[in-house]
Structure 1
């Protein structure tokens, strides 16, 4: 095994945190909540107000407030007000996926959205934002009461607006963010069932990973049987692409380590090996496999790249996973990967003229927008600048509150 080395070089991260937070300050939408941000950081007021983006901005600026960033409290409160206001379904409960510029809400109820509302409310609670604890109680109750399937130990994916019809599709992406939400909710509430659910989901997920060579199936039927050909004809779908998603394996790797650290002596011994397996398979499949630096987006089940564009969130999760795995194991290759990917991000993803990170690059590492136009939110990039400076447990909001982010 690799020898123990000093931590990765994180010296550039504090300044980058501040640069990112400065870029996002124009997000408030006149309807309430967070606008989709264009490439230059101006709000696109013609685009719908999205629950997931609003929740992410509430989370990010709650963290910023805990870090002492001036004005972040007002921005966090603005985003949280969008979640209790325009995006909340006052008639049927829960949250609309989005609200159009004319004020008309989109139909349906999504586990993905509700998981982010829990995350936002938990971070807001730890940042002592007004109304956040009440929001957390409602959001956690809705997520677990409406979406949790105890017989499968997983969250379902999509209901209709009135909570009368549950779609047959099941997805791993929403469950990954539900694990993140459960960990944050545990930090904010101390409720043990949050950890129990996070562990149950992780156990099932790693089982599927082990059965498929650590390439995680993303899509499932109502009985949680993998649908390996799902969207083969739509490989660039922004939320449900075909195949294995390299960035999600990296993200799962990190979340598993956070869960293990939070469980402490009660953690099962398979967690850390699963995190390492997911990390190393993702790196082998995804990093610079087509002759240029960068992570491909998705692969087929034999590791062949499918969508080769480079997404900023994948690079962000790579940084966070490498730092977390180095903190857990002390192994040299994790520090070396972090430093390699740091140099790549700074050279290719950072937009030093307009701010933030390019959200997508083409295969030659030039700015592109085939999947993600603009720079809609800060969640992945800001977390990539904070996680390498934080302990594995507690989560980011709690760590910021106790001054543990260095």
Structure 2
């Protein structure tokens, strides 16, 4: 089995030694066309294969075909529905034909399929005959806000209705002012679900969604909520933990180092992919907050450096799925999404700082991804490979929704001035 290259870009190093300053990849015309082509393949695949005529979206198999149950349909999960809406709002901003129909389809199903008309909130999993998993998850509700805010930015007629529903719901049902973050999960009628648990993942994605909500509405309380979550999870908790991001907590936001839940969504240890995701979100939050909080950029850089130090496999390349709090790998599988988040973070941070370290890692991660994650010739993103870079399906299979991979392709095309959608719309409206 081929191992990953040990150096990011020998070409760049040689040119720097000779006093030259090569353009970053994302500023080179060919690379920009290549990125656009990858994004177009993602849009085309999901636009024509994922739309379920009974409402919502199909998951796709390895060949890009709908995964159906015995009734010819399948369960629709709240985060996947919402993330496809967001993705095709970006598609619309870019001028991708047919994006409107996908947005309409998803927005209709969020309201008529996922929404609980009796108790309020949004069911996590829904089938043809109603809820399959009626729980109310902060993770899923964060993506509903992202979908609503994105739909408003592209002028969808139902966006204000959805925003008017989801924003008060998040504030009244999930937000815990004493902690400055959200609770995790409830039953359909809003009773606590299971043992008391607080998680960083749902709060991280809510930070992203709150920034989108702020961009869409100008409501500064949403920005302050995002800053509050970042302050709790990153400045205070992660900063006190040698800058290794903890994932799992009790109801008082005390670390639960022994916790082990779902290996897919709540694995033991820490997830370097989330360090990378936070590094970009912190930099974006710093920009959104008028660059008031200098600690955010320092933390963003530190998280990125630590992620590539602890999380990158020095022998085979790629990011380990989880590491312990001593920095040693726990789950050595490599998923597609940490590579995506590393690409986006490296591009964003290089644009803000000009530090060649981030450009080198941008190139290194793309080189690894094209060699081992992007399947040719169909452009499928392989969701999971093992340590020695063989395809594995212990946690993920088929074709994952395009939320992570799309952002890896498109974030590098824009300056680090806001969210992907905000930058796409700014370019569309320029001149």
Q: Aligning the two structures, in what range does the TM-score lie when normalised by the shorter sequence?
A: over 0.9
Residues of 2 paired with 1:5 and 1:330: CA distance?
12
SS in 2 for 1:224: coil
Tell whether 2:407 aligns with 1:383: yes
SS in 2 for 1:365: coil
1:115-134 → structure 2 map (5 Å cutoff) = 115-134=142-161
1:155 maps to which of 167, 173, 182: 182
1:44 maps to which of 32, 51, 67: 67
Tell whether 2:198 aligns with 1:176: no
Counterpart of 2:311 in structure 1 is 286
| Segment drifting more, 120-129 vs 345-354 | 345-354
Q: Is the 8 A contact 1:45 1:101 kept in 2?
A: no
Q: Is the 8 A contact 1:127 1:397 kept in 2?
A: no
Q: Tell me how far 1:104 sits from its aligned partner.
A: 3.7
Q: Tell me how far 1:404 sits from its aligned partner.
A: 6.5
Query: Deviations for 1:339-384, whole angstroms, at most 9, x for unmatched residues?
Result: 1111111111112233331111121222221111211310000011
Using CA pairs under 8 Å that are at least 6 residues apart, name the structure with larger relative contact order, 1 or 2. 1
Aligned length: 400
Counterpart of 2:258 in structure 1 is 229
Where do 5+ consecutive residues of structure 1 fail to align?
none
1:331 maps to which of 355, 361, 372: 355
Tell whether 2:105 aligns with 1:78: yes
Residues of 2 paired with 1:165 and 1:332: CA distance?
48
Tell whether 2:36 aligns with 1:14: yes
Counterpart of 1:272 in structure 2 is 297
CA-based RMSD of the aligned residues comes to: 1.9
Counterpart of 1:349 in structure 2 is 373
So what's the TM-score if we normalise by structure 2? 0.89
Q: Tell me how far 1:285 sits from its aligned partner.
A: 0.6
| Segment drifting more, 31-40 vs 167-176 | 31-40
Q: Tell me how far 1:155 sits from its aligned partner.
A: 0.7
Q: Is the 8 A contact 1:391 1:404 kept in 2?
A: no
Residues of 2 paired with 1:301 and 1:36: CA distance?
34
Q: Is the 8 A contact 1:245 1:297 kept in 2?
A: yes
Residues of 1 paired with 2:414 and 2:192: CA distance?
41
Q: Is the 8 A contact 1:254 1:320 kept in 2?
A: yes
Q: Tell me how far 1:93 sits from its aligned partner.
A: 0.7
Residues of 2 paired with 1:208 and 1:404: CA distance?
39
Q: Is the 8 A contact 2:383 2:398 kept in 1?
A: yes
Tell whether 2:23 aligns with 1:23: no
Counterpart of 1:35 in structure 2 is 58
Counterpart of 1:395 in structure 2 is 419
Q: Tell me how far 1:20 sits from its aligned partner.
A: 1.0
1:99-138 → structure 2 map (5 Å cutoff) = 99-138=126-165
Q: Tell me how far 1:166 sits from its aligned partner.
A: 5.5
Largest Rg, 1 or 2: 2
Query: Deviations for 1:95-148, whole angstroms, at most 9, x for unmatched residues?
Result: 000113543431210000000010011111111122022112211221222100
Residues of 2 paired with 1:33 and 1:56: CA distance?
12
Counterpart of 1:198 in structure 2 is 226
Query: Deviations for 1:168-224, whole angstroms, at most 9, x for unmatched residues?
Result: 110000000000000000010000001101111101111211111111110000111
Where do 5+ consecutive residues of structure 2 fail to align?
1-12
